């Protein structure tokens, strides 16, 4: 029996052993999709939900590819945090405090 072929990647805080080419291709595609289509853009919870659900049920690729895509997209989302906007955070805090006192 030939030895199992796989690569190990760090995803988040975990080492992930990837032996499935479809998962690996989906992972790379998910990362690239985030970088090209979503990076530095404001996303709503509805947009994220629709992207993830759409990816999960897509019949264009295998289930393993779809899960790889979602994993790659989420990794890129969390790895590429936009810079904090302290002015915006201050304005939101002030508005919340004003609502609370009225």
DSSP string, 36-101: IIITTS---HHHHHHHHHHHHH-SSS-HHHHHHHHHHHHHHHHHSPPPP-HHHHHHHHHHHHHHHH
Per-residue pLDDT of the chain (102 residues; tens, 9 = 90+): 555 677 787 777 788 888 888 999 999 999 999 999 998 888 999 999 999 999 999 999 999 999 999 999 999 998 855 555 555 555 555 555 555 565
Whole-model pTM over 0.95 = no
Residue 10 is predicted with a pLDDT of 78
Angle (CA) 87 48 10, round 5°: 90
Domain spans, the chain: 7-101
């Amino acid at each position: 029996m030939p030895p199992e072929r796989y690569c190990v990647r760090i995803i988040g805080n975990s080492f992930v052993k990837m032996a499935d080419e479809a998962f690996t291709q989906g992972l790379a595609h998910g990362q690239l999709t985030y970088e090209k289509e979503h990076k530095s853009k404001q996303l709503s919870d509805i947009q994220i939900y629709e992207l993830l659900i759409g990816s999960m049920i897509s019949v264009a690729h295998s289930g393993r590819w779809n899960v790889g895509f979602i994993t790659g997209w989420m990794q890129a989302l969390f790895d590429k945090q936009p810079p904090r906007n302290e002015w915006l955070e201050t304005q939101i805090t002030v508005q919340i405090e004003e609502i609370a006192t009225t």
